[in-house]
Amino acid sequence: MLTNLSDLKESNEFLNLLLDNINSAVLIADENLQIHQFNDSFLSLFDRATDQRVDSSFGQIAGCVNAVAENRSCGETSQCQFCSIRRSLLQTLLDEAPVHRRRLERQFYINGQPVTKYLEFSARPIQFQGRRMILVIIYDITDIEAQKRELEAKQAQIEKDLEAAAQIQKNLLPHHAPDIPRIRPAWAFEPCDRVGGDIFQIHRTGDDDISAYVLDVCGHGVSAALVAVTVTQFLQGLQNRMRLTGKLFTPEAVLDRLNSAFPLDRFDSFFTIAYVSLNVKTGKMTYGNAGHEPPLVLKPDGTLEVLAHHGTVIGSGFDAAAYGQDAVTLSPGDRLILYTDGLTDNFGPDGERDGRDRFYADLRTMAANPVDDLVQTVFEQTRALRGKSAPTDDMSLVAIEYTALNR
């Protein structure tokens, strides 16, 4: 024979079974917060003995640290005036309005030891045994709150580590214009995350020679930054070797060495790089390009020359790839422009991805600008075009003006 659900609702046995098997603590209290009824989950929540007197106060049964320490009932301790649950429950009776999911952080004595509990409670006024009372439901969120705080602590540590990584990356970028005659450099960098996969540098490799590069690791964030730092250290070793031996590596030789040192199966990543060697005395510049955005030469009259020679990316999987190189001769006033694709990708309105043509067009209008102003204006333009949106990729720009004459 099936039992009618409406009959169950009228059954005290059913209601007791229901109340004693739900996870939330349920209790009924009067205006003095004396407890008249509670379910088994209330005792389990506070791990109290089942022989507690029903007419005891909430603080005594629950083991409220204030009630136990002062051996007083709810409403009589020195801290009761500050108790959020007391104020909320009494306000429920006064206003005859329910309270929903209020938070409470409090220590309770459990097995003789103070334990911090994080609770949420809801309350509503009811009639019970002919009196106005308060029905209270308490949800134990201690485990959830502990997990939340653990995650927050881990996130704080991650933020701290990211800040340290960002500082390390910043220290790998040029700190100030190198003291090199016949050139005037400027640069800017803006990662889309705290750290990024872009790195650039300018080195003096001889009395009359400099090298410069801009590299872009696939992706962004911590993993890309780690690869970028490793590549930078490798290139720094080559620069030191050139200075010590006086033997210059050509851009082609540098790219071949990078491709051998950074195979895809070792780093699970690839990167692009534009690398140039410039003789500041003659203006002859040799360059190599491994899958990177083409270097540009901006003439004083606004003419923009795109240096189109290029090879495949570093880490492409091709063994002993012959990247080749090409050469041009800079004239006084020419600006060499090296950049990453994040700059052109962000150089467009409304999130437009193909901003290369607009980038080129704007560069032509800045041919007469001082090189520092050119770099600053380019970045201001990207911010103006994308509005409040964050950049979609790391952005780097290096501009080197060839002055030819000693400054």
**Phi, psi dihedral angles at 65 (to 5 degrees):** -60, -35
- Residue 71 to residues 3, 201, 212, Cα–Cα distance (Å): 48, 71, 77
CB half-sphere exposure, 212, CA atoms < 13 A: 26
Does the pTM surpass 0.85? The reply is no
Q: What is the pLDDT along the chain (407 residues), one digit of tens a residue?
A: 333 445 544 556 656 666 666 788 888 888 888 888 888 888 778 765 444 555 577 777 777 888 778 887 777 888 888 888 888 888 888 888 888 888 888 888 877 788 888 999 998 998 888 888 888 899 999 999 989 999 999 988 878 877 777 777 777 788 777 778 899 999 999 888 777 788 999 988 888 899 999 999 987 777 788 888 889 989 999 988 888 888 889 999 999 999 988 887 777 788 999 999 999 999 999 999 999 999 999 999 999 999 999 999 998 766 555 789 999 999 999 999 999 998 888 876 554 557 888 899 999 999 999 999 999 999 998 888 877 777 778 889 999 999 977 55
Three-state DSSP class for 129? coil
Contact 256, 313 (CB under 8 A): no
pLDDT of residue 318: 61
Which residues, 6+ apart, have CB-to-CB distance to 268 below 8 Å? none
DSSP 173-221: S--S----TTEEEEEEEE-SSSS-SEEEEEEE-SSSEEEEEEEEESS-S
Side chain identity, residue 261? A
pLDDT number for residue 370: 94
Can you tell me the distance from the alpha carbon of 248 to that of 238, in angstroms, rounded to the nearest whole number?
9
Show the CA angle centred on residue 78, arms to residues 75 and 82, nearest 5°: 75
Give me the pLDDT at residue 300, please: 95
Report the DSSP beta bridge partners of residue 329.
284
Q: Name the residue with tokens 């290029």.
A: 310
**What interhelical angle do 371-386 and 356-365 show, nearest 10?**
140
Q: Which amino acid is at 330?
A: L
Residue 280's region, left for phi above 0, alpha for psi from -120 to 50, else beta, is alpha
216 bridge partner residues: 198, 272
- Beta sheet of 99-110, edge-to-edge order: 35-38, 25-29, 131-140, 113-128, 99-110
Kindly compute the dihedral angle of the four CA atoms of residues 193, 194, 200, 201, in this order, to the nearest 10 degrees.
Answer: 170
- Distance, CA of 136 to CA of 291 (rounded, Å): 67
Instruction: Pull the structure tokens for residue 394.
Output: 């790391």
Do 127 and 82 touch, CB atoms closer than 8 A?
no
Q: Determine the Cα–Cα distance for residues 136 and 122; give it in Å rounded to an integer.
A: 6
What pLDDT shows up at residue 353? 54
What pLDDT does 54 receive? 59
Residue 170 · residue 123 · CB < 8 Å: no
